[in-house]
Amino acid sequence: MTFKDLNLVAPILDALHAEGYTNPTPIQQEAIPIVLQGKDLLGCAQTGTGKTAAFAVPMLQLLSAEPQKGHRNIRALILTPTRELAIQIGESFTTYGKYLNLKHLVIFGGVPQGAQTHALRAGTDILIATPGRLLDLMDQKFINLQHLDIFVLDEADRMLDMGFIHDVKKVVGRIPVKRQTLFFSATMPPEIQKLANTILVKPEKVEVTPVSSTAEAIDQSIYFVDRKNKKKLLTYILNDKKVLSALVFTRTKHGADKVAKDLSKDGIIAEAIHGNKSQNARQNALNNFKSGRTRVLVATDIAARGIDVELLSHVINYELPNVPETYVHRIGRTGRAGASGIALSFCDAEEMDDLKAIQKLIGIKIPVVEAHPYLAEESGLVQINPPKNKAIVQRPNAVPAFNARHKKKPAGQFKKW
């Protein structure tokens, strides 16, 4: 299937062609016709599936069919949790709508509101906003949503994670009841399902099957290590100057902060990014990472959505995800656009089931790195009584001796994991 098969107008097809886009992704194939029919949509899809174009392209077509004369009223609202996502969505509307006579505006908090209120007075067809700044400017009477035709709630589960659901409900209560609603979420916990049920009317559901294959250009490996030694192993790996940039994943916000703090103590420039950080702090950390000022960015899965860094050399799973599909999305942030990438994962005894689930999903056994100073496993065994020369094993500067000794199974007693 090509975009021409989706009954899109020439200006949009020309814009897509100019970007080299010819074939829609699965979610675009399914969602675009539904949105063009004016139906409500419930989309279950993660970032990286082409979700933004799945709603932006048909929205542009619907709005361009009824051009406004005189002052432009806001006819479409996209509500998104973070400034960086709002900016990215705005860039997508610029790309797909460059041959259409439609205006869009991005507003978010953490910056002075003057430029945003000035642009709002001039009028816009499409408003892309974060919840806090939107409500603030609505309270100040700078924003009127009474002419709204289309409402998009993007990254609903992330809204929940960041504590924005109350604000989302406030916004929903202040927009016209008669509207088209497009609701997107990567996961559907009970509270998000309940929210979807309250704001959607007879929706069509589009669900993208989670990706299971990992890019061939990505070199994957696993490090078996005791939990207490993960910090030391991470520093040991990052002391290698061949690791030009690294996106390190933790399961929790607290974990991300702790890892970044520990790395900084060890002289490695690192910053954390997660939902508890202010939008300013997240954007600054991301900009520093993209520009190379920060070599290591430590992130939670939800905070890392939408992060697209060119030439990212390494992804490091400090903790394995308990959802196997998440592993695929994590490591897919390296090895993009034909470039090679390296994905390293740490695994302790409690994470063995997670590793098995990941390997079952991707259909390969990830190679094990045995030549490192903090090895906790060999051939499925865990060392419980270390050899007498334990100090050699734990000293990073003793790697040659360690490597030579570990060509054979080390001394000591072992137990099955």
Instruction: Tell me which fold the domain 218-369 belongs to.
Output: Rossmann fold (3.40.50)
> From edge to edge, which strands make up the β-sheet containing 246-249?
218-224, 341-347, 314-317, 246-249, 296-299, 270-273
Q: Are 83 and 109 in contact (CB under 8 A)?
A: yes
- Other beta carbons within 10 angstroms of residue 40's beta carbon come to 20
Return d(Cα 266, Cα 281) in angstroms, integer. Answer: 22
pLDDT at 329: 79
Taking every pair of Cα atoms in the chain, the longest distance, rounded to a whole number of angstroms, is 84
Q: Are 313 and 244 in contact (CB under 8 A)?
A: yes
Return d(Cα 66, Cα 248) in angstroms, integer. Answer: 47
- Other beta carbons within 10 angstroms of residue 89's beta carbon come to 24
Return d(Cα 411, Cα 384) in angstroms, integer. Answer: 11
pLDDT at 212: 57
pLDDT at 305: 61
Residues 6 or more apart in contact with residue 167 via CB below 8 angstroms: 131, 132, 135
In the chain, ranges of CATH 3.40.50.300 domains: 3-207, 218-369
Residues 6 or more apart in contact with residue 1 via CB below 8 angstroms: 23, 24, 29
pLDDT at 339: 58
Which amino acid, 364?
Answer: I
pLDDT at 306: 57
Look up the CATH number of domain 3-207. 3.40.50.300
Return d(Cα 271, Cα 296) in angstroms, integer. Answer: 7
The tens place of each residue's pLDDT in the chain, 417 residues long, gives 899 999 999 999 999 988 888 889 889 999 999 999 999 999 987 666 788 999 999 999 999 999 888 889 999 999 999 888 898 899 899 999 999 999 999 999 988 999 999 999 999 999 999 999 999 999 999 999 999 999 999 999 889 888 899 999 999 999 999 999 999 998 888 899 999 999 999 999 998 765 556 656 689 999 999 999 999 999 999 999 889 999 999 988 889 999 999 999 999 999 998 867 776 788 888 889 888 899 999 998 766 665 666 668 899 999 998 878 778 878 877 765 555 789 999 999 989 989 998 998 888 899 999 889 998 844 343 433 333 333 323 333 333 333 333 333 333 333 334
pLDDT at 178: 96
